[in-house]
Chain A
Amino acid sequence: MKLLYISLTIAAIASSTLTSAYAGPRNSIIAGFASEAGKPLSAKRGKDFFMGKHSGGKPGINSCTSCHTTNLRGMGKTRVGKPIDPMAVSANSARFTDPAKVAKWFRRNCKTVLGRECTALEKGDILTYLATQ
């Protein structure tokens, strides 16, 4: 029994350290978008953008959900069927912690879905929304 308590405590400490280790970089990425946008970010706007339909992108893809699906805690799928890890931070704590990856995928996927790059406000809103999911 003692052993169980000890291991539970260790697990709890480890997981909280891990979560906070990820939370730092993610928060600074989001803060970067906020300062670039010069406006407060909104999870509500982020949700509408992520779930909504867009135009101007590549044929056959008109929404973030085309590949990521509306179930943010589940796996998405690329057009050739390769699985995409969940977008919701609660299901995938490593999400949005690498600035280079965030930049790469916003650049690519905004162009694919909208035919243009996203604004800092749009990117900040989306991350604010997904961080709470």
Chain B
Amino acid sequence: MTHQDQNKTTPQTIRVWDMFVRLFHWGLVATITVALTTGFLMGSMWINSHVLVGSIAAALIIARIIWGFTGTQFARFSDFIKTPPHVWAYFREVKNQTAARHIGHNPLGGMMVVALVLVILGLAATGLVVFGGVLKSGPFAGLSYATGDLVKELHELGAIALILLIIAHVGGVVFESMRENENLTRSMINGHKDRRKGDAPLHYTGQTRSKPFLALAVFGMIAALIGGFVSQDTSTRIQNPPVLVDSYFQAYATECSDCHKAYHPSLLPAQSWTLLMSGLADHFGEDASLDAATVASINAWLQTVSADQTDTKPANVFRQVATDNPVSISKTPFWRKTHYEIAETTFENPPIYNQSNCFACHSDAETGWLYPANIKIPTAPQKESLN
């Protein structure tokens, strides 16, 4: 390895990672950490945070792609994307312990950048499809639940792939730092790397400072993207909306809210409603009988607005009723799967009283949406403390 192509103006210390690249990198670390934590560990009530950080990560990635064509020397894809034979050759050199040190990304590191960019882009795209199809929110709110649910599998596979890539990336950084006895993480913080003898050839262009106007334009685009995705109203732009509470059949609205709030008709399939309406004399342990004509008129309406006619997530999951109790939402497999962590006593005590009281924790239960971010489990009323 010769040094003939390092001309005299090449400084000893190189600003290898410009401000934009560093902000991008650590911004991505932060947003992906929150996205993985909320997605895998914290449950669906964190959906708004998950979508927010996911949108920011996607905007960062798009900005990084623009930077890859227009940015500083070591940020450009042309600087670090090598042909497969080159990457393979470098891999063999690493194995044989003859690989030269690179100032920018080495060929394997360059592959990692491409892989991370592609996987995160894929996660953003599949995430938006899930957000649309399953939760009827965001730009793809018109997609079907079935589509959203299917793509959710891809979204989860992508997230697992991302975790594996992150482990490989951190492993690569640690390996290279030890191999060359330098702190690569610090370089990603202060942006600098020192040239050494034996480095891979460097065609230094001197173009290593962020371009402020371009950076401003790119950041403006990030802000617009985030604003666009996040400001999507979660209750609009939907296909097949559940019937509005205000347009309930009159007898349903009055009779069914005598003892409890009226349940949204999309929360049970038509067959379950028929069964429930025919058994009002013993309605969950209470006589709620009505005259036959009222029962018939209410049930006729329910047949047209039940879970069978609705494509929301609650309608899709509660269509699957318990075979031994097809009229209880709280006996459905999905209900049990999602509520088992909540203690019996929490349900029995005020202000919830009963597992049937969806409205106590789901502030939008009456509308039939049950958006996960609208869940708040109330605390039992405290006795007044002495001051």
Complex contacts, B289 vs chain A, CB 8 Å: 107-108, 111
B261 A58 Cβ-Cβ under 8 A: no
Complex contacts, A81 vs chain B, CB 8 Å: 350-354, 357, 360
Complex contacts, A107 vs chain B, CB 8 Å: 287, 289
Complex contacts, B186 vs chain A, CB 8 Å: none
Complex contacts, B357 vs chain A, CB 8 Å: 80-81
A111 B285 Cβ-Cβ under 8 A: no
State whether the Cβ of A2 lies closer than 8 Å to any Cβ in chain B: no
State whether the Cβ of B246 lies closer than 8 Å to any Cβ in chain A: no
Q: Give the Cβ gap from B245 to chain A, nearest Cβ, in Å.
A: 16
A80 B285 Cβ-Cβ under 8 A: no
B286 A79 Cβ-Cβ under 8 A: yes
Complex contacts, B282 vs chain A, CB 8 Å: 58
State whether the Cβ of A59 lies closer than 8 Å to any Cβ in chain B: yes
Interface set, chain A 88-114, CB cutoff 8 A to B = 104, 107-109, 111-112
Q: Give the Cβ gap from A90 to chain B, nearest Cβ, in Å.
A: 23
Contacts between the two chains (Cβ within 8 Å), count: 43
Complex contacts, A58 vs chain B, CB 8 Å: 282, 285-287
Known: A78-B259, A78-B260, A82-B260. A59 touches B285 (CB 8 A): yes
Against B, the Cβ 8 Å flags (1 = close, 0 = not) of A49-64 are 0000000001111000
Against A, the Cβ 8 Å flags (1 = close, 0 = not) of B238-264 are 000000000000000000000111000
Give the docked Cα–Cα distance between A26 and B313 (Å).
48
| Interface size grouping (class) on chain B | 10 to 19
Complex contacts, A61 vs chain B, CB 8 Å: 286
- Which residue of B is nearest A104, CB measured? B290
A79 B287 Cβ-Cβ under 8 A: no
A80 B281 Cβ-Cβ under 8 A: no
- Which residue of A is nearest B356, CB measured? A80
Interface set, chain B 180-235, CB cutoff 8 A to A = none
From B261, B285, B350, B352, give the contact of A82 (CB < 8 A).
B261
Q: Give the Cβ gap from A56 to chain B, nearest Cβ, in Å.
A: 12
A111 B259 Cβ-Cβ under 8 A: no
Complex contacts, B259 vs chain A, CB 8 Å: 78-80, 82
State whether the Cβ of B288 lies closer than 8 Å to any Cβ in chain A: yes
A79 B261 Cβ-Cβ under 8 A: no
Against A, the Cβ 8 Å flags (1 = close, 0 = not) of B277-303 are 000011001111110000000000000
From A59, A79, A109, A112, give the contact of B353 (CB < 8 A).
A79
Complex contacts, B351 vs chain A, CB 8 Å: 81
B354 A108 Cβ-Cβ under 8 A: no
Complex contacts, B288 vs chain A, CB 8 Å: 108
Complex contacts, B286 vs chain A, CB 8 Å: 58, 61, 79, 108, 112
Give the docked Cα–Cα distance between A78 and B353 (Å).
10
Q: Give the Cβ gap from B262 to chain A, nearest Cβ, in Å.
A: 11
From B285, B287, B352, B360, give the contact of A109 (CB < 8 A).
B287
Against B, the Cβ 8 Å flags (1 = close, 0 = not) of A11-54 are 00000000000000000000000000000000000000000000
Give the docked Cα–Cα distance between A79 and B351 (Å).
12
B287 A108 Cβ-Cβ under 8 A: yes
Q: Give the Cβ gap from B366 to chain A, nearest Cβ, in Å.
A: 13
Give the docked Cα–Cα distance between A109 and B258 (Å).
13
Known: A58-B286, A109-B287. A79 touches B281 (CB 8 A): no
Q: Give the Cβ gap from B90 to chain A, nearest Cβ, in Å.
A: 68
- Which residue of B is nearest A77, CB measured? B353
Give the docked Cα–Cα distance between A111 and B281 (Å).
9
Give the docked Cα–Cα distance between A82 and B256 (Å).
12
A112 B287 Cβ-Cβ under 8 A: yes
- Which residue of A is nearest B257, CB measured? A82
Give the docked Cα–Cα distance between A81 and B380 (Å).
14
B354 A80 Cβ-Cβ under 8 A: yes
Give the docked Cα–Cα distance between A63 and B289 (Å).
19
Give the docked Cα–Cα distance between A85 and B20 (Å).
64
Interface set, chain B 100-135, CB cutoff 8 A to A = none
Complex contacts, A79 vs chain B, CB 8 Å: 259, 285-286, 353-354
- B residues with a Cβ closer than 8 A to A are 259-261, 281-282, 285-290, 350-354, 356-357, 360
Q: List 13 A-B contacts (CB under 8 A).
A: A60-B285, A61-B286, A78-B259, A79-B285, A79-B286, A80-B260, A80-B354, A81-B351, A82-B259, A107-B287, A108-B288, A111-B289, A112-B287
List the 3 closest A-B pairs by CB distance, nearest first.
Answer: A111-B287, A81-B353, A108-B287
Given contacts A59-B285, A80-B353, A80-B356, 15 further A-B contacts (CB under 8 A): A58-B287, A60-B285, A61-B286, A78-B259, A78-B260, A79-B353, A79-B354, A80-B354, A80-B357, A81-B352, A81-B354, A81-B360, A104-B290, A108-B286, A111-B281
